[in-house]
Amino acid sequence: MPVPAPDTPALPTFADVKRAAGRIAGTAHRTPVLTSRTADAMSGARLFFKAENLQRGGAFKFRGAYNAISALPEEVRRRGVIAFSSGNHAQAIALASRLLGVPAVIVMPEDAPQVKVEATRGYGAEVVSYDRYSQDREVLGREIAQARGLTLIPPYDHPDVIAGQGTLALELIEETGPLDMLVACLGGGGQLAGCALAASELSPGIAIYGVEPEAGDDGRRSFHEGRVVTIPVPRTIADGAQTTYLGALTFPIIRERVTDIVTVSDDELVETMRFFAARMKLVAEPTGCLAAAAVLHGKLDVAGKRVGIVISGGNVDIASFAHLVSPAA
């Protein structure tokens, strides 16, 4: 469980999101906002999908990674950075580091999707493997950081990472205008917290929801119990949401600005992957389907509303994707 230290940084603000937008402009993709008449008919709402599966590195994580590294002093960058991640943050840090000329070490679980491991190495980062069920990635990451003099950039509980993720909601609302609802994916809370900072400022009165896998409902429990709840590593196909607790920075933002948190099953994630592939010609990974699955499977009352939905990533092994979306799967 995260315990705020005396030097815990201040919570990021909407001003930080705007500064992040300036840092990543021209480097991160301004991803398209997609619509589907079929999805609208299924939900009874007007849905706007922010396609972060088409972001550099294949996921929204590039926003926060690039913002965090580019904000570091030059002498700190030269020493290098380290991150721990199941895949998308790993790829994002590796790619951002390559673009900025920064050495990078990534701590990744042994069972991370091979496509994500290969992409991380392909961007030039050193990969250190660990067993997610018996080893603590944060402890390992901090040990390596201390031993090598690297700067640790965690996947979600970092003010510049949170602010960077919030730029996706800023872009979404700039394009669509005010929304009634925003639905985001939830793992450790970086995306949801960042989006909440932006959406609550740009679209006053908006209802903001987070969605996590049923097997990993620490966020929902934390939200309703008013404290950070820690769970064992959840077993779910949503590998990007196999987090065990919300962060010391993400939790208070979510508690203050988010309306509620709901969950979806792995089967509902697979059905949503099929929908995106068949109807919208999109490849989305299971974690990337969390928000859409909640809307398309009736977990939220969206009828008659204008709803923004984050498709958070598309990094999925093609063989696994084919198996999952096959009707026989």
Which sequence positions are flagged as catalytic? 61, 86, 212, 216, 218, 312
**Which residues, in sequence order, are CB contacts of 205 under 8 Å at separation 6+?**
none
Contact in structure between 95 and 57 (CB atoms under 8 Å): yes
Report the largest interatomic distance among the alpha carbons of the chain, rounded to a whole angstrom: 56
**Which residues, in sequence order, are CB contacts of 78 under 8 Å at separation 6+?**
102
Note the residue count of the chain. 329
**Which residues, in sequence order, are CB contacts of 46 under 8 Å at separation 6+?**
35, 40, 305, 306, 307
Query: How crowded is residue 209: how many other Cβ atoms within 10 Å of its Cβ?
Result: 24
139 phi and psi, to 5 degrees? -65, -45
Task: Report how far residue 243's alpha carbon sits from residue 186's, in angstroms, rounded to the nearest whole number.
Answer: 9
Amino acid at 49: F
Q: Give alpha helix (H) positions in the chain.
A: 14-24, 37-43, 61-70, 74-79, 88-100, 114-122, 137-148, 159-176, 190-202, 218-225, 250-257, 266-279, 290-296, 318-325
**Which residues, in sequence order, are CB contacts of 172 under 8 Å at separation 6+?**
33, 48, 50, 179, 182, 308
The structure tokens listed for 236 are 């779910």
The structure tokens listed for 95 are 């790619």
Amino acid at 296: L
**Which residues, in sequence order, are CB contacts of 242 under 8 Å at separation 6+?**
86, 132, 187, 216, 233, 234, 236
